[in-house]
Amino acid sequence: MATLVVCAGMAAIAVPLRELTSRDHVSVAGVSGGEENSYAHGDDYGQDISGFLQIKLLAPAKSLRVSTTDGDLLWNAEHLPAGESQTEVDLVLIEDSLELLVEVNFGDEGDETAFFLTVLPDGVEEQTCYAIGSGRVEEILNYEWDLY
């Protein structure tokens, strides 16, 4: 009897689950005034998405600069304490991916440390990349989503 109840429950969620996982398009809230933008996976143009950048520093940083690889500045901060900080940003996903140039100046102490940068775009799963180094750390971080 218990097996029959479990099978009936699984069958009841199978149809809605299939609808959620087999869509051809993803709808994401647009940056400007709540309009909605839809796109299919693999389009060649960029998709504007608002969201947040969150950095976790294992040591205090004298400065932080996050920009796109095209040179668009997203975040510029000085004298950040160890721990987490975040800022709201407008992101552009090109072919479901994002490349960010992150420059963190930890100073001249010479001890190896790390930072973790999490991208939290609205309507898309968050992703975290990290870099390890000492002094001035400059790294290109790659984020990629599998949007259908």
pLDDT in tens, 44-91: 457 899 999 999 999 999 999 999 999 999 999 999 999 999 999 999
CB atoms within 10 A of CB 17: 11
> Is 3 part of any domain?
no
| More confident: 22 or 66 | 66
Residue 148's pLDDT band, with cuts at 50, 70 and 90, is low
| More confident: 124 or 18 | 124
| More confident: 95 or 17 | 95
> Is 72 part of any domain?
yes
Domain count, the chain: 1
Task: Look at residue 34 and tell me whether its pLDDT is greater than 60.
Answer: no
> Is 6 part of any domain?
no
The parent domain of residue 87 ranges over: 25-144
| Distance separating alpha carbons of residues 97 and 38, to the nearest angstrom | 16
> Is 121 part of any domain?
yes
> Is 1 part of any domain?
no
> Is 36 part of any domain?
yes
- How many whole angstroms from its chain centre is CA 52? 8
Per the CB < 8 A criterion, the answer to whether 59 and 82 are in contact is yes
The number of residues making up the chain comes to 148
> Is 74 part of any domain?
yes
> Is 79 part of any domain?
yes
Task: Look at residue 24 and tell me whether its pLDDT is greater than 60.
Answer: no
| More confident: 13 or 40 | 13
